[in-house]
Structure 1
């Protein structure tokens, strides 16, 4: 039976962390290793996490140098065959979703499985504001501004061991660079699971300000150069256009 490591990154998340934890612990797949990496929260987050200590495999609370440094800590702490992330503003969509992901890995023999993602209002979780329907991967989709939703993407640990972790010199789009590296540069064809995997509250690093959005697009373009891949500068226009379309898919 494949072991799934699920990693949650958090910092001062007292209002949302319990929903995240419950969404993981309520999964009906029996072989889950749950890891929480906290950036030394001071608002009561750690106390909530400690209430679940008997069900959490690893809990690290210490300062870090950013989101992707914390994610790398989670990967290094993982012992599972498959690694996925669900952060402290996010929830797994239902109690069977990890079982479905594992079944997809087993039936497809894939190294990467991804699905859809739904954004909801921060305090009205039943109201969808954006639906990220990822769709089936084809060669050339990354060049057209596509990427799979990172928090709805599960990856074999062996790929991290072989191709490396998140780049910490990229502050906003290191998830994009890692997926580009794994999928396009090293040609690990991902398999699409047509279901919502992650539910995310409104917000997020790359969407929080105009400055961050511009920095994200800059890092997207840089990611291609870092991997010695050719890409049109038009990608910085195509990627946000795809995001706009998601607001019209609220089903």
Structure 2
């Protein structure tokens, strides 16, 4: 019997981007997919788009919730697949053979497998690969595996669930608790999803989302009673406090703001080829300006 993959999407007024997400699932060559959408009572055309894709949407709930992690937990409870994956309503899978490829990686009956993802700048349409080559020590100091590239055995997800009291780091908390309990992550090196970098946890330093993330990390480290070196490692590696107060950082920030103000960023990126321009073969892609058949 073919393994079933449950894909969970949390939506709330996602009408501008959701069609691309669902379209990347509709055309998958591997068909034993259970697609679960948990909607936060959208007031735009999100539910109309979901109806348009009723051929691939297995289950949909639309009701008020406290945020993305409560929505994810509802999806986990409904999931009947062998493995669970999560994708954002503004993200999509990288090609139509993704599930055909990853299903071959599950033959060893592994509990969790990680893949890289490709991050895309919504404004400039540039992209870069977010690699997953980090170890347990990196994770203990705050680094996170790319979440849309994680596929987890359903019984593991149902055991841990997400802490819905958090707004930002519950995917990290789940991974951390899993590793502390002796869990193992297997890695593959080919990307599986396009990720829009305009999500909840993509704010600039000193933004409200980053302040919230710092607070949640501090609470987590206290609750789990981790060694002090991990807390210091987190503060140093992730937020680079020393750089934040340096003259060099201030100069870089000033230059960045000036470039942005005078709209020179795109020119410089193109001139030095810092990041490649997004290009894909999906039938529906808002970054390429292609809107289906």
Given the two structures, how large is their TM-score scaled by the length of structure 1?
0.88
Cα 1:11/1:143, change in 2 over 3 Å: same
Q: Is the 8 A contact 1:144 1:238 kept in 2?
A: yes
Root mean square deviation of aligned Cα: 2.0
SS at match of 2:55: helix
CA drift of 1:211 comes to 1.8
Contact 1:12 1:44 in 2 (8 A): yes
User: Does structure 2 conserve the Cα–Cα contact (< 8 Å) formed by 1:92 and 1:198?
Assistant: yes
Q: Secondary structure of 1:195's match? A: coil
Aligned counterpart, 1:177: 173
The answer on 1:168 being equivalent to 2:164 is yes
| Separation (CA, whole Å) in 1 of partners of 2:168 and 2:6 | 23
Three-state SS of the structure 1 residue aligned to 2:192 is strand
Kept in 2, the 8 Å contact 1:221–1:233? The answer is no
* Pair member with larger Rg: 2
* Match of residue 213 from structure 1: 210
Contact 2:8 2:35 in 1 (8 A): yes
Change (3 A) 1:191 1:215: same
For residues 45-87 of structure 1, the C-alpha deviation after alignment (integer angstroms, 9 at most, x for no partner) is: 1111101113211011111111100111111111001000111
Question: What is the 5 A alignment of 1:11-30?
Answer: 11-30=12-31
Quick check: 1:232 aligned with 2:227?
no
Provide the C-alpha distance between the structure 2 equivalents of 1:223 and 1:102, rounded to a whole number of angstroms: 33
- Partners of 2:161 and 2:110 lie apart in 1 by 19
**Secondary structure of the structure 2 residue equivalent to 1:207:** coil
Q: Deviations over 1:200-247 (max 9, x none)?
A: 123111223512112213322332333343223331231246xxxxxx
SS of 1:237's equivalent in the other structure is helix
- Counterpart position of 1:121: 121
CA distance 1:97–1:54, change in 2 (3 Å): closer
- Equivalent-residue separation in structure 1 for 2:219 and 2:274 (angstroms): 29
**How far does residue 249 in structure 1 lie from its aligned partner after superposition?**
8.4
Give the Cα–Cα distance (whole angstroms) in 2 for the partners of residues 17 and 10 of structure 1: 8
Residues 101 and 113 in structure 1, CA contact (< 8 A), matched pair in contact too: no
Between structures 1 and 2, the one with greater strand share: 1
Unaligned runs of 5+ in 2: 241-272, 277-293
Q: How does 1:111-150 map to 2 (within 5 A)?
A: 111-122=111-122, 127-128=126-127, 130-135=128-133, 137-150=134-147
**Partners in 2 of 1:28 and 1:249 — Cα distance?**
34
- Contact 2:25–2:56 (Cα < 8 Å) also in 1: no
Q: Which residue of 1 aligns with 2:269?
A: none
1:61 aligned to 2:62?
A: yes
Question: Do the aligned partners of residues 145 and 95 (structure 1) sit closer, same or farther apart at CA in structure 2, a change above 3 Å counting?
Answer: same
Note the alpha carbon deviations across 1:171-221, whole angstroms, 9 max, x for none. Answer: 111111011111x21121111111112211231112235121122133223
Corresponding residue for residue 265 of structure 2: none
Q: Indicate the SS of the match to 2:9.
A: strand
**Alpha-carbon distance change, 250 to 113 in structure 1, aligned in 2, over 3 angstroms:** farther
Aligned residues: 239
TM-score normalized with structure 2 length = 0.76
Are the counterparts in 2 of residues 84 and 151 from structure 1 also a CA contact under 8 Å? Answer: yes
Shift of 1:250: 4.7
